[in-house]
Structures are given as C-alpha cells and as structure tokens.
Structure 1
Amino acid sequence: MGSAELSGVGTDPEIRDDQAAFAARHAELARGYGGSGDPDDPAMVQAMQMVLHIPKSDPPARSALLEAAAAAAVAVCLDPRSGPGGEWESRYLAWKRARIRKVARRARGAQWVGAGEVDGVTVDVDGAQARAFVPGPVGAIDQRIRKLQIGGTDLEHDEPGPPDPDLPVLWVNAALEMSVGKAAAQVGHASMLLAGALPVAAAARWAEREFRCAVRDAEPRQWSHLVAEVAAGRAVAVRDAGFTEVAPGSMTVIAVPAPR
C-alpha cells in the first residue's frame, strides 16, 4: 500500500477550528505508509486484527459485512484516540509507519462478546457487524482475539442492488475470488487509502456519516473501466503484497469517492 491523491475532488476553502484535531489525524493518514521491511523478530511484526461477526444460524449478507469491515478499519485510524496525545497513538503509528497488514478472523456468540472488550471500533451495517482493533505486534495479540479462527467460514456472494449514489463505492475484483476474510482486509486497506486521498474537508464529511460505504463486486469488463479511473486520478487502488490467496501486486479493490 502507498499514499494516493485524488484529482477532481473539491475541498472547502477553510477548516473550522474545531476540526483541527481531525485535520491532524487526517494529515498523518494522508502521508501514506512506511513500507519498511519486517523486524528481525517475527513476533514484532505489526498487524491490525479484525473480527467479523458471523453467527452460525443467521449469517449476515457478505456485502454488508464487508461494508462494516471497511468502515471499522478507517474509523480506528481517524479515531481521536489514534491522534496526537491519544491513548492509541503509539500503537497506531508503529503499525502505520511500518508494513501495513490486516488479519480478519470470525467470531460468534460469546467469542464476539469477548472481542468487544478489546480496544477497537465496531461498525454495524444493516445487522452485519465487524470490529477493527488497535494494531500491535502479532506476538502480543490479546488472547480473546488470538483464539479466533482466521479461515474456515465463507459467505455466499449476494446481490445488494445498485449502490447508494451518495456513498463511496469499494469495488472488489471478482476475478480473484477472494474469501470473505481476505476481502475484508482488502476493503479495509481501500477505505484507508480513500480517506487519506480525500481533501480533509471531504474526509470529515465522510466521518460524519461514520464512514459508510458500498461494497460491490466488479466483473472483468467493469474492472477495466475502474482501472482507467485509477489511472486518471479519480479512484484509488489496493495492490496486495501477495502474502495470502492472491499473487503479489494484484489489484484487489478500487475505491471510488462519493460525488461532491
């Protein structure tokens, strides 16, 4: 992942004084990511853990769950506790300024309740719930999270209909056939890239909507059009490092901002 900047997206001429703290957090996100190599000690590799609530008897719609995951990831990054002087700042910056990783797990019942006690942000989209946690070393993951399964459960692709025209859309590369966990991590990357690429005033307006977004699958013909939008500076793309499921450099998600 890297920094990005969108062209053709307007901004307000001034930022109100009461937005200064948000502006500082946004500026850090907009600087991009350190991209440094991994530490010598594997236990010190930094990652953001995410948990998807997938009850056995009544699982959520895949698209809604991915929308919740995307919103939760960027919400952690722009939460006041991740900003200057905040209680999460040092953990957040250690992760953001290194090589960005996210790991999505699943939970149900008491597992989900326990996960809610660990520092992070939960987002609910139409009954689909996901929680993103304050990043940290993989060797020091809270036991309530560490014990949760990373794979083993997937969700059928649904047909949620046309996206809300007032929301940004995160288009998932359908040709890659990613699992729901992999896709959750990728849309989390995309929401971060999009927020950082937006002018601060536009990002603040998105924050007021709790980072709501639409997640949709893009078939090959539509994907080609979206890639052209990235080249024109009107969208941002996630290119995966290739640690799991997809080849290194694969373009996994393209985020298109909401209209002005």
Structure 2
Amino acid sequence: MGRVSSENPTPGTGTDSPFQHENTSRDEAPQFVLPLVLHLEKTAPPARTDALETAARAVLVMLSDPRSLDDGEWAQLMRDWQDARIRKVVRRARGAEWRKACALPGLTVTGKSAEVRVFPPVPLDGWPKELAKLQVSGTELDDPEPPADPDVTGPVLWMSPDVDMSAGKAMAQAGHGAQLAWWELSDTERADWRDAGFPLAVRTAAGDAWAALTTSGLPVVRDAGFTEIAPGSCTVVADHPALRR
C-alpha cells in the first residue's frame, strides 16, 4: 500500500516554476501529493505505454483546469503542493474501488486502453480513506506490441533507457516530465497545447541518443530517490516543439 513514486523534478526556468531557485525551505513546508489512480481490471489491463501517456495527460489536465487556477476551488491546494516538493503517487483500482474513487472530486482522462483519474493534492499523511486503501502492487503492465515511432514534430517524453521502473513509477515520472514542459511554456503555447487535447508520446530513448537529450537544454526529471531508484537519476527528458530553441 506504499507510495509508487515520490520524486522531485529538476528546477525549471519558467517564471511560475516552483523549482526556479534552490530553496531548502521546500522540505520544511507542509508536504502534499498529487494522487493518480489507474483503472486496472484483471481481465483487460491497459498497455504500458498508453498508461504512461494517459497519466502524463492527466497531470496536464489537472494543471490547466479552471478549478486549479486563480481563485478556483483547487487552486490553493495546487499552490501548496507546488510550494513544497512535487510528489505524485500512482495507485490502482478495480471494480467497486474504482467506482468509489470516481465519486471523489477529480478528473478522469481516458487513453486508447487506459483510464487514469487524477485528484487535487492531498496532505502526504492525509489521504481520503477511499484512496488510502488502494494498492500499488500488481501494476506491472506490458505493451502487446512495440509502440510505433513517435511523431517527433510533436511533444515527446523520452524515458531513460538506463533506469528500470515499475509501471506506476514510470507513470509518475511521465507526469513529472509533462509538468516540467508545461512550466517552461508561455501562456499562448500552453493554451495551444490544451486546445489540441494535450497530444504527446512517451517513448524510451535510444541508448546513443539519451546522453545528448539530457544535455540538450530541454527539461530533465531527476528523481529524488524516495522509491525504487537512486537519487539524482535522470528519468525523463521533456521534448516539446516550443522548447527546441
């Protein structure tokens, strides 16, 4: 029943990025987490890549929802979450558990085979009981066939070829990558991405391309090492056309 992921992306340069400057007080601030729940029925599990892409879009949908902005009902929670260490946790639900999760305030994003519900941030130790009891084990997913090459003229979240992650961990990391790209974009670029339905692809980078990606100036997710992998591991490079400058 533990956390799938509890990570801190590398600082961005966008003016509204909570990681724009080093700030050790982030660890002293009240800690919040963004919960994501994967709909995982035994008989029809989603494809791994689709689950990663759907989780990334779910994070973007939450970030851009009017309730998360300005004086919206979730806005203060979103600010509190982003003022501390950015944490995302992915759990799974099926049957009645999924229906109970869907009854809580949040947003459901559907991919080709995956459904992910994202909720407003909650205190690290203050999860709603309907979510607190959900398990993380059993979230290992596979792709029935290798995913097609991505459209590199659009946004691509490149996953590290060197870091082995569970599906839940990788979903959270993809969400981090999408969030870093969001922070780096202008308001107009954000609106264009949102209005297009947040198209994106998640793919594992080729080994010989990964080093160049991590030094390209594009946003890079570096894991804080709370779960599964070593602190400082580069896990995702967020490659959005507007950031290829």
Question: 1:50/1:36 Cα in 2 relative to 1: closer, same or farther (>3 Å)?
Answer: farther
Residue 55 of structure 1: CA displacement?
A: 1.6
The separation in 2 between residues aligned to 1:217 and 1:165, in whole angstroms, is: 13
Is it true that 1:121 corresponds to 2:107 in the alignment?
A: yes
Name the stretch that deviates more: 248-257 or 211-220.
211-220
What is the aligned partner in structure 2 of residue 76 from structure 1? 62
Q: Residue 168 of structure 1 is aligned with which of 128, 137, 155?
A: 155
Moved segments of 4+, more than 3 Å:
30-40
The separation in 1 between residues aligned to 2:154 and 2:44, in whole angstroms, is: 27
What is the aligned partner in structure 1 of residue 4 from structure 2? none
Matched AA of 1:184:
M
What is the aligned partner in structure 2 of residue 50 from structure 1? 36
1:132-173 deviation line (CA, Å, top 9, x unaligned): 210020222111111110233301245110113443000111
- Work out whether residues 175 and 219 of structure 1, in 8 Å CA contact, stay in contact via their aligned partners in 2: no
The separation in 2 between residues aligned to 1:134 and 1:84, in whole angstroms, is: 15
What is the aligned partner in structure 2 of residue 36 from structure 1? 25
Unmatched runs of 5 consecutive residues or more in structure 1:
7-26
Q: Secondary structure at the match of 1:177?
A: coil
- The count of aligned residue pairs is 232
What is the aligned partner in structure 1 of residue 6 from structure 2? none
Map 1:170-209 onto structure 2 (within 5 A): 170-209=157-196
Name the stretch that deviates more: 196-205 or 60-69.
196-205
TM-score by length of 1: 0.82
What is the aligned partner in structure 2 of residue 97 from structure 1? 83
Question: 1:169/1:35 Cα in 2 relative to 1: closer, same or farther (>3 Å)?
Answer: farther
Kindly report the root-mean-square deviation, in angstroms, between the aligned alpha carbons of the 2 structures: 2.1
Percent identical among aligned pairs is 41
- Work out whether residues 10 and 220 of structure 2, in 8 Å CA contact, stay in contact via their aligned partners in 1: no
TM-score by length of 2: 0.87
Residue 31 of structure 1: CA displacement?
A: 4.9
Greater helix share, 1 or 2? Answer: 1
What is the aligned partner in structure 2 of residue 250 from structure 1? 233
The separation in 2 between residues aligned to 1:159 and 1:119, in whole angstroms, is: 35
Matched AA of 2:236:
V
Residue 45 of structure 1: CA displacement?
A: 2.9
Matched AA of 2:103:
E
Is it true that 1:213 corresponds to 2:200 in the alignment?
A: yes
